[in-house]
Amino acid sequence: MNLLGRKTVFLSIALLSYLIGSIPFAWIIPKLVRKEDIRETGSKNVGATNVFRRSKVMGLLVLSTDLAKGAIPIACGKIMGTDPVCAYLCGLFVVIGHIFPLWLKFKGGKGVAANLGALTLLNPAAAVSFFISWSSTFAISKISSLSTLVALATSIFVCAMTEENKISVFVYVITSILITYKHKENIELLLKDEEKRLF
């Protein structure tokens, strides 16, 4: 494939990644099931954690669909033969789509589940480290945001240790910084010891 062809493939996959990432399942599912606007309840965040507070079943459904929408563009990219850096960039675009969804006037969730879905195909070892560190931190603290921050740090470390292409690592660091930035209010609450526990 020539350079123009590779650029066309990448731009197509990047656009697809953003559009799939933009699908707001955390808004769609409560709207269909309970006719609720998740943006008007709980933390008002369009994400699985906020939905989980309303309904465990709906929360798990949102989590599953968000994981899937993170993985699908990466799978498509691999089928089309994109290189590792392009694949990581597609993961970044999925998260950007989740955080800034076209369909909700660019006001979405925090990108955690979408990121994990993408990471599962990008770097399975980093994804496993993310899951284990998130789960263990949550088991102790019951705080989703703290668990996410610990999991991001752990997965960056594992990614850096296992990924040969350091540009790919850099892209994942950018993705993690974006997700961390979306947790800025949670970080402020954590520092004040005022962050809510999920249970």
Q: What is the distance, to the nearest Å, from the Cα of residue 127 to the centroid of all Cα atoms in its chain?
A: 12
Distance CA 20, CA 142 (A): 30
Distance CA 99, CA 107 (A): 7
Give the pLDDT score at 2.
58
Give the pLDDT score at 4.
62
Its pTM stands at 0.93
Distance CA 13, CA 54 (A): 34
> What is the DSSP secondary-structure string of 79-110?
HTT--HHHHHHHHHHHHHHHHS-GGGTT----
Distance CA 92, CA 81 (A): 18
* Residue 40: DSSP 8-state: G
- Provide the residue ranges of all domains of the chain, joining segments of one domain with +: 3-191
Give the pLDDT score at 9.
74
Task: Please list the pLDDT of the chain residue by residue as tens digits (199 residues).
Answer: 555 666 787 788 889 999 999 999 999 999 999 999 999 988 899 999 999 999 999 999 999 999 999 999 999 888 877 789 999 999 999 999 999 999 999 999 999 999 999 999 999 999 999 999 999 999 999 999 999 999 999 999 999 999 999 999 999 999 999 999 999 999 999 999 999 898 7
Cα angle 49, 193, 38; round to 5: 25
